[in-house]
Amino acid sequence: MSIADWLKQPWPWYVAGPLIGLLVPVLLLIGNKSFGVSSSLRHVCAACFPANISFFKYDWKKELWNLFFVAGIMIGAVLISQFFSNPNPVHLNPKLVEELGQYGINNSSNKLFPPELFNWNTLISLKGVVIMLAGGFLVGFGTRYAGGCTSGHSIMGLSNLQLPSLIATISFMAGGFIAANFLLPLILKL
C-alpha cells in the first residue's frame, strides 16, 4: 500500500477516540477553554439575532474562540475531503445495509452521508423537511435545553466526572434509540 493510500484509510476508534480526548487538555492548557461545540450556535444567535432576549444578551465577542474552533472543524473537513478522503464506502454492518436498502438508501458512494437523502431536491419533500429541517431544529433546541452536546456533556462533562453530564448522555442515547429504531423507519417510508 502506498503512503497516499494509507493516509486515505479511515481511522479505527482506538486511534481517533484518544486523539479527540486529547483536545480536552489542549483547550484547557492553551486558554482555559472547555471543550464544546453547541455553544457556537448560541453565539451566532447572540451575535446576529439577539432580539432583546436575555439568554442572548452577553458579550459574545469574548466567546469568539468558539467560533474560530468551529470554523476550524469545517476547514479540517475540507482538507480531508480534498486530499485524504476514503475512496471506499463506509464499512457497515450488513444488517443495516439490508434495512436501509428497503428504503432505497444504498451505501454505494464513498460519501459519509446518503446522497439519496441529503440533497437539495429532497429538501422540498416531506421526508427531507422532517430529517434535515426538523432534525436540525431538534439538535439546536435540545442541546441548548440540555446545556451541551456530545462534546460538552459526553466528552468534556464525563471527563470531569459530572453526574449531570451522565444524565444528559443517557438521555441523548435514549432519544437516539427511540428515533432511530421507531421514528426513522416511518419517516423513511414517506
Partner 1 sequence: MKSIETINEKQHHKFLTDNTDFEVRSMDTICVNESELKHPFWHNLKYLGAGILFGIFLVKAEVISWFRIQEMFRLQSFHMYGVIGSAVVVGAISIWLIKKFKLKTMYGEQIEFITKKINKGQVYGGLLFGFGWALTGACPGPLYALIGNGATVIIVTLFSAVAGTWVYGYVREHLPH
Site for partner 1 in 33-72 (CB under 8 A): 33-45, 49, 51, 53, 55-56, 58-60, 62-66, 68-72
Comparing CB distances to partner 1, the nearer of 2 and 163 is: 163
Comparing CB distances to partner 1, the nearer of 3 and 161 is: 161
Q: Which 8-27 residues touch partner 1, going by CB under 8 A?
A: 10-27
* Angstrom distance (rounded) from CA 147 to CA 155: 13
Q: What would the grid cell of residue 184 be? A: 426513522
Closest CA to 23 of 34, 15, 13: 34
Comparing CB distances to partner 1, the nearer of 104 and 176 is: 176
Q: What would the grid cell of residue 48 be? A: 446576529
* Angstrom distance (rounded) from CA 41 to CA 78: 20
Q: Which 120-179 residues touch partner 1, going by CB under 8 A?
A: 120, 123, 130-165, 167-179
CB 22 within 8 A of CB 35: no
* Angstrom distance (rounded) from CA 137 to CA 115: 21
Provide the CA 176 distance to its chain's centre, in angstroms.
13
**Total site size for partner 1, rule CB under 8 A:** 136
According to the binding rule CB under 8 A, does residue 73 interact with partner 1? yes
Comparing CB distances to partner 1, the nearer of 2 and 180 is: 180
The residue from 90, 104, 125, 190 that contacts partner 1 (CB under 8 A) is 90
CB of 87 to partner 1, least distance (A): 14
CB 60 within 8 A of CB 47: yes
CB 115 within 8 A of CB 109: yes
* Angstrom distance (rounded) from CA 130 to CA 128: 5
CB of 189 to partner 1, least distance (A): 14
CB of 182 to partner 1, least distance (A): 10
Comparing CB distances to partner 1, the nearer of 2 and 16 is: 16
